[in-house]
Amino acid sequence: METATQQVERALARLAQHDPGLNAFSVVLAERARAEAAALDALPEAERGPLHGVPMAIKEELDVAGCVTTFGGEANTTPAAADAEVVRRLRAAGAVVVGKTTMPEFGAFPYTESASRGLTRNPWDRTRSPGGSSGGTAAAVAAGVVPVAMGGDGGGSIRIPAAFCGLFGLKPQRGRVTTAPHEHLWWALGTVGPLSRTVLDSARVYDVIRGSLPVDRWHAGPTGSFADAAGLDPGRLRIGWSARPVAKGVRPDPLHVQVLHETARALAHLGHDVREVDPRYPDPTAAFVPQFFAGIRTEAQAVEHYERLERRTRETYRLGSWVTPRVVEAAIRAGEQVERKANRVFDDVDVLMTPATAHRPPRVGVLDGRGTVAASLRSLPAIAYAALWNVAGNPAASVPCGVAEDGLPTAVQLVGRPDAETTLVSLAAQLERVRPFPVLA
């Protein structure tokens, strides 16, 4: 079994080798990571945690003690005094933080591009985007720098980069993972979670970080062990599939529809009851848009130097001035109605399967020179299947399906009933066993 020091040294070597061409890391904590690994190796085996020595990276929106929480920009300058609760739990389980990962400012758009950090690139094809907003996290894992890293998802920001980079990315049930020290992440939309090369790696991390605190506004229902679920047969499930996007005016890439059909056939071959369904999607706009603006404004109001925010971020802040506290609460109530309507599909199926995104990974620089409105329109294909489930709060996962002729990964999205993460984990692990996930050398 490798020591913590060996694992960390390998991660740092791969980081030095790959990151100059990827721009996945905003901060590298090499000496601190080495010291933490040495301290872990000095512990008696009985005191070692379930993630002993595992090198991990943390998205810029999460506090890491001693590092400035930049949210992808330059508007903060004071280092965080303490770890976010999720990071504290990871360290307590034995994980070693080797650095922080790039993101677009405040995670506003699903491509990891910023005036501060520049363009983050996809390890499968460096002319392409890794997606976002957890794009640095995805690039770090896909390149094999770390086996698992932390992201966040307020409109697809775990699932989109997972799909673009050939990773497993589960957005958990709203309230499953604490956002402490903050009451929420983008109000009812956001949650925190890992991206990984395997289902089991994500499951093990979730078993360490899951659980809310009194400070959290939302709290998920009970669930079993995610790691146990990864080793269990899911049983015969009713799986409904649909290629229809939630977003109006968006058409899925034909390749993604083909992959959806192929995965439906694979699931049927595994013994599941698989059929096409009409999800009767409700329109989430009245719930999503105000919370999007409120999320940006809440984070912008908390930074130390507002004037250092990117021009597009300041434009987004101004455009959201109509989102008063009363409007936010109305949007949350509208989201509860969306949740009830969206979950009607589970009257007839156990799992809903869709494309993960409508489009293939675009070339880097997709948002160059574009303001808030144009950037939002360019983002619609990325969030077309994902954002609804942030509004509804359901667990949803991007599951790799191989590599296409263009040399880039493919994926499908699996959506479960409220609090049904373990069902998705079991099903994704079953798919992984019969169709191993793609891995870069």
Active-site annotation holder among 26, 59, 100, 212: 59
Q: In what order do the strands lie in the sheet with 168-171?
A: 25-28, 96-101, 55-59, 148-153, 191-196, 168-171, 396-403, 409-416, 351-355, 238-241, 273-276
- 133 is known as an active-site residue: yes
Establish whether 100 is a catalytic residue: no
The candidate with the shortest Cα–Cα distance to 412, out of 358, 352, 355, 351, is 355
- Alpha carbon distance 98, 146 (integer Å): 9
Residue found under tokens 């870069």: 440
Which of the following is catalytic: 116, 129, 133, 134? 133
| Closest C-alpha to 135, from 121, 118, 114 | 121
Catalytic residue (choose from 157, 242, 376, 379):
157
157 is catalytic: yes
Catalytic residues: 59, 133, 157
